[in-house]
Amino acid sequence: MNIEGKHKFLASQEQIWDLFMDQKNLEKAIPGCEKMEEREPGKYDVLLKIGIAAIKGTYTGKIEVVDPEPPNRYRLLGEGSGSPGFVKGEATIEFSQEGQHTIVSYQGDMQVGGLIAGIGQRMIGGIAKMMAGQFFKKMAKELKSQQ
Partner 1 sequence: MKPSAFEYFTASTVAEAIKLLERYEDEAKIIAGGQSLVPMMNFRVAQPEVLIDINGIKELDYIRQEDDEIVIGALTRERDLELSPLVQEKCPILAEAISLIGHASIRTRGTIGGSLVHADPAAEIPLTIYGLDAKMRVVGPSGERTLEPEEFFLSYLTTSLEPLEILVEVRIPVLPQKTGWSFVELTRRRGDFYIVAVASILFMEKGGVCKEARICLGGVGPTSIRAEEAEKILAGQVITDELIEKAGQKAAEAADPESDYHASAEYRRDMTRVFVKRGLAEARNRAKGG
Nearer to partner 1, 20 or 136 (CB): 136
Nearer to partner 1, 52 or 66 (CB): 52
Residue 118 in contact with partner 1, rule: CB under 8 A:
yes
Give the three-state DSSP class for 27: helix
Dihedral over alpha carbons 40, 32, 120, 128 (to 10 degrees): -70
Among 6, 37, 66, 130, binds partner 1 (CB under 8 A): 130
Query: How far is 78 from 60, CA to CA, in rounded Å?
Result: 11
Residue 34, C-beta contacts closer than 8 angstroms, at least 6 positions apart: 47, 48, 49
Residue 66 in contact with partner 1, rule: CB under 8 A:
no
Nearer to partner 1, 21 or 47 (CB): 47
Give the binding site for partner 1 (CB under 8 A): 1-2, 52-57, 83-85, 115-116, 118-127, 129-130
